[in-house]
Structure 1
């Protein structure tokens, strides 16, 4: 296995490069666990039949993009035992899985010298159902994203830092959660996702439309 990290010169170049791969935010759609996009819609995007929706101007996307550097800085302050690195417009490629790429919010190194992943999320809790998805667990679509990054990089662990905003009774509340994931505990999940993404990419390369994966009720 050969893992290569490249740094693109601009976001535009990064966006162009990611079209030829499955990225972390695509991973959950491949297995029917993305609440916003089906596997068929993703296939249509990757085969050029559908233009991906441009959400860059939406308030929650702008907030999340601007918050990322601050959340990373807070992680550095709160967890000094980790070394944190970050390159803008980074892209990891793995020779074993040429259909996949990973772009990380941060690279970690723990006190044992092990390499890891930092992923940051911001979300606004509007319903109790959304709050439940974060209770002692990571929402399925974000869990798939972390598994995808572990697969591509080969790293040993991941930390997901999530800022959850909610408003109850006119009062703004902000909670921060940290989820620590060891690769050895999710190896079977990683293998399952790799095989699912490989099957999906075969549909992309062949031009055959996949069957719709319906979400579990």
Structure 2
């Protein structure tokens, strides 16, 4: 199938990269956003043009070949979307399968700084970011494999191997959670929207992309959130003004100096930066702001 067909097929179930979002554990996508994509409420974001994703796809083949060389095994693609025989909502589009073994391979291109941020443990362990762990466990459930390897290229010049073994209790949690999520998709029953997530505003822009000329009367609940927004905005401006004043004190003390040092050894550096002119492409978006009542 071509990419358009593949994307369409992915709408008919939960894939490995969807597992964390379906369970409400993804730092990148909310359960509501995934539900909206699967039900067709919004178009799934095409991230192929994102440079990080593009290079991740390029690096996949390099990582797989180097893994095979180091491990002395043969790996092959499964150019199809696999479906669990008992749980048809569970899909898998895996990176590689190790020939002659019940073992799969997930290839990740990892930024060196992200690797040092604490979500990664010692190579050889299963200490990987939670969304990657759930992805590999999901694949093991679909293929009925006892083990999955995650090979991470760190900073473009180091390959580290993590070994993830099937966890029966975690597998049961994944199956139950994904079943609940998929039943919501089938019933067109939206999960609760997490308003505090940083990606919620982007999701709302997709759900409501235009204006229709109508007017709605807000209830007491929205009146409350209006007051919260106004108070928070006032506090934000107040603290922003304080921060600006503090910065002006520092700039005045620096004068024309290049560097001003604090007692702890840190300090403030001044340097001249020239920014080239550029053109901004035309864009259409929906602006939402509070307007005062007319007299």
Q: TM-score, normalised by structure 2?
A: 0.61
Partner of 2:171, secondary structure, is helix
Partner of 1:132, secondary structure, is coil
Deviation at 1:208, TM superposition (A): 0.9
Task: Give the 5 Å matches for 1:136-175.
Answer: 136=122, 137-165=127-155, 174-175=157-158
Partner of 2:103, secondary structure, is strand
Aligned to 1:204: 185
Aligned to 1:170: none
Structure with the greater alpha carbon radius of gyration: 2
Q: Alignment partner for residue 174 of structure 2, among 189, 193, 200?
A: 193
Partner of 2:15, secondary structure, is coil
Q: Summarize deviations over 1:5-52 as a string: whole Å, max 9, x none.
A: xxxx32222222111111111100012221110001111111111112
In 2, Cα distance between equivalents of 1:94 and 1:201: 14
Deviation at 1:123, TM superposition (A): 2.1
Deviation at 1:157, TM superposition (A): 1.0
RCO higher in structure (CA 8 A, sep ≥6): 1
In 2, Cα distance between equivalents of 1:38 and 1:74: 34
Asked if 2 retains the 8 angstrom alpha-carbon contact of 1:150 and 1:158, the reply is: yes
Aligned to 1:3: none
Task: Give the 5 Å matches for 1:22-61.
Answer: 22-61=14-53
Partner of 1:138, secondary structure, is coil
Partner of 1:131, secondary structure, is coil
Partner of 1:26, secondary structure, is helix
In 2, Cα distance between equivalents of 1:141 and 1:106: 18
CA RMSD of aligned residues (A): 2.0
In 1, Cα distance between equivalents of 2:164 and 2:28: 25
In 2, Cα distance between equivalents of 1:104 and 1:127: 23
Asked if 2 retains the 8 angstrom alpha-carbon contact of 1:24 and 1:102, the reply is: yes
Q: Summarize deviations over 1:115-135 as a string: whole Å, max 9, x none.
A: 11110011224458x631113
Deviation at 1:181, TM superposition (A): 1.9
Q: Which runs of 5+ in 1 are unaligned?
A: 1-8, 166-172
Q: Does residue 85 in structure 1 map to residue 85 in structure 2?
A: no
Higher normalized helix content (fraction of residues) = 2
Asked if 1 retains the 8 angstrom alpha-carbon contact of 2:151 and 2:161, the reply is: yes
Q: Summarize deviations over 1:92-115 as a string: whole Å, max 9, x none.
A: 111211111101111114xxx541
In 2, Cα distance between equivalents of 1:175 and 1:211: 41
Q: Does residue 69 in structure 1 map to residue 61 in structure 2?
A: yes
Deviation at 1:62, TM superposition (A): 0.7
Deviation at 1:85, TM superposition (A): 1.9
Q: TM-score, normalised by structure 1?
A: 0.82
Q: Does residue 106 in structure 1 map to residue 96 in structure 2?
A: yes
In 1, Cα distance between equivalents of 2:112 and 2:165: 27
Aligned to 1:131: 117
